[in-house]
Structure 1
């Protein structure tokens, strides 16, 4: 078993995100997790992620506050504490914290496929 204490979690840069800070909780350099990695994202008021469609599916779990997820189709959903969603690979989404408090969200994603 590998434990990563929040105090020891290292920050990482999430492309196309703004006014957001992220910590790696599992996987990559944080642990030997071999099927997925987990990050903790703190979105400041007004912070978010630009509309983008990555190749891999992702799971979001809101821990505190609320985030608005807008899909490329125009659908808009507000996730509050302990709400979660799965976004399949290739589906465009934008994330935004429209509130006045920090929103915390857990992100779970598989590793990118290695090229041969």
Structure 2
């Protein structure tokens, strides 16, 4: 298959290790298209929800669609608002937390190192 359309009703919930008070949904996997390289998900964080401080071995982009998330890295803590994004390389230590009073929707894009 050379393309894939995912309808909002077809997003697949999955378990995300180290995450809490949230529902991650998978929109696209690398195997969905020929020579695919990216994983795309939409995560819904309840107030108080987040991810523990740690890293993964994937290049990552977080884009805030709605709400806000507190982002903590080894060097700083900042608030990401709707329309803000965060891009990090493999092995980057970080944590996120929804300290707001409304749910946050965050688009997550992941690639393996060395892939475009």
Aligned residue pair count: 111
1:40 equivalent in structure 2: 42
4+ residue segments displaced more than 6 Å: none
TM-score, scaled to structure 2: 0.88
Q: Is the 8 A contact 1:11 1:22 kept in 2?
A: yes
1:78 counterpart residue number: 79
What is aligned with 1:89?
Answer: 90
State the 1:112 CA deviation.
7.6
Say yes or no: does 1:23 pair with 2:25: yes
- Structure 1: any 5+ residue segments left out of the alignment? none
In structure 2, runs of 5+ residues without a counterpart are none
Is contact 1:58–1:107 with CA below 8 Å preserved after alignment?
A: yes
- Quote the residue 2:68 is aligned against: 66
Report the TM-score when normalising by structure 1: 0.88
